[in-house]
Amino acid sequence: MVFKWPSEWRDSDAMSYFISDFASTAVRPSRKLNFWSNLICAVCQYRKSPFVSISELKRCLAWRGVAPQCLEGVLEEMHNQKTVLKLEKLTETWSQWGLGVLVAPLTSVWRRFVIDTSEQKFVVISVLEECRSNLMSSVHYNDNLLFTIQEWNELALTFIHPNNLENLNTYLVFRCDIAVYGDPVSLVKVKAANKKTVSDISQIDIAIGKAKMTKSILSTQVKELSTKVNELLSAARKAKNKNEALSHLRRKKLYERSLLKREGALNNTESLLLQLQESQHNKTVLSTLKVGAEALKQNKVSLSEVDDIMDQLDEYKSYEDDLNSAMTSLDTTTDSDIGLSEELASLLAEDSEPPAKKQLQTREVIDLTEDTPDNSSFHDNSSFHDNSSFHDNSSFHDNVLTSEELEELYSIQQELENAPAPPVQLDRSQAAREEFDDVEHPVEREAPPKEMTARLSPELRRKPGRKLVGILLE
């Protein structure tokens, strides 16, 4: 990935101002300070190198071959703000560091920041913390807390420059993130994710570390011997005479014997390593079970407390049952309920009528009163389709038929169906008849005979405007 320089890097006028030294040490423009401080952090992050010197910064930040003249002043301001520290100050305790943050603004008036040499190392705190965070996250993700020094260095080099590896390990030991064993260091143990400090290295950890180192050495030897055997076999095939070929084969036999021994030792070491790791895992599980047992012992509930709680629940339940029975025993019957009961009885009586009587639903409205003068008014259905007159709420209840009236209408309907009547003569002009014949029309119903109308009861005759409903079966 190519480093992305700021936009001012391509502006000659802006860079002429930025690479120049500060005109006064008392007042330093914030624009120039922010530009170089942000650029120093970005370059160190890109190079994975939080430990830098003045000479390295001048080489990295040279613009068109010209080194910035204000780097000492920028580092001084960053040092006062505790974003940059001298390497020898890195291992100060956190209390001393916090005290320095408070005292620095007061002492900076008379104590000038001094750079001993151009090779003096400085630490960019933000970049160092980012490298540390990435490395610890990778370890916790793999859930492996014990490493040989070779394994640890290979993992750490993915997050930091090789020149800064030793300083990073020193910082991690100071922060109690790792513990080292051996002189020289041969084993590294990382603290767990939920712990504040790393646990001590136990005898099992030491045994596992030695087994890992032995396994690594034997694996390397097996690879080398396998390569040597293949080379000797190839040389024997290419030999120019028999004696040279036999010499290569004798050496191949020797390497094969050594290879078999190394492979056997490697298998035994791997078996021992698995047993040690299983033992450590069992120890961790046992420790977890002990902690869980102690927690259960502290949170146990006595049997007498459970009995008391159950008795209280039974008492409350009986009280609720008595309360519900008392509330349901109240007489809530009122006059309105009695009226509703009578209405329900009448509805049930209507539902129990014969199905033929229930078919007397409203399909057509036939005016069978004495006011019907002729058949033409009998076939006038305009009053039936007129929703305003049919659904008039003021006269609707006066036109409701009783069961006796329905019986009478039903008998008249039966006689109308059985007794044929002469067809109705319609008075139409010749043009109207031709037009009428061309269009399909439903069969016109016959008018009821006047003698059928005369058979209506006097009660029906005395009801003015009564609309009697009859169903003509199709």
Are the C-beta atoms of 70 and 21 separated by less than 8 Å? Answer: yes
- Token pair 């109690």 is found at 176
pLDDT attached to residue 294: 85
The pair of structure tokens assigned to 7 is 């936009």
pLDDT attached to residue 352: 67
pTM, entire model: 0.54
**Separation of alpha carbons 434 and 106, rounded Å:** 120
**Separation of alpha carbons 328 and 337, rounded Å:** 17
**Separation of alpha carbons 66 and 71, rounded Å:** 12
- Cross-strand partners of 181: 187
**Separation of alpha carbons 360 and 457, rounded Å:** 19
The pair of structure tokens assigned to 133 is 């965070």
Count, residues in the chain? 474
Are the C-beta atoms of 81 and 164 separated by less than 8 Å? Answer: no
158-177 burial code (b ≥16 CB/10 A, e <16): ebbeeebeebbbebbbebeb
Longest Cα–Cα distance of the chain, Å, equals 148
CA torsion sign, 217 to 223 to 226 to 231?
negative
pLDDT along the chain (474 residues), means of 10: 89 91 79 92 93 90 91 89 86 50 40 64 92 92 85 92 91 90 85 85 88 92 94 91 91 94 94 89 86 82 82 88 78 61 78 55 43 43 42 47 72 71 51 52 50 53 46 40
Contacts of 301 (CB under 8 A, 6+ apart): none
pLDDT attached to residue 457: 56
**Separation of alpha carbons 185 and 150, rounded Å:** 10
pLDDT attached to residue 92: 66
pLDDT attached to residue 129: 93
Give the model confidence (pLDDT) of 128-169 as tens digits: 999 999 999 999 887 788 898 989 999 999 999 999 999 999
Tell me the DSSP string of 71-139: HHHHHHHHHHTTSEEEGGGTTS-HHHHHHHHHHHHHHTTT-------TT-EEEEHHHHHHHHHHHHHHH
**Separation of alpha carbons 130 and 148, rounded Å:** 23
Q: Any idea what DSSP says for residue 63? A: B
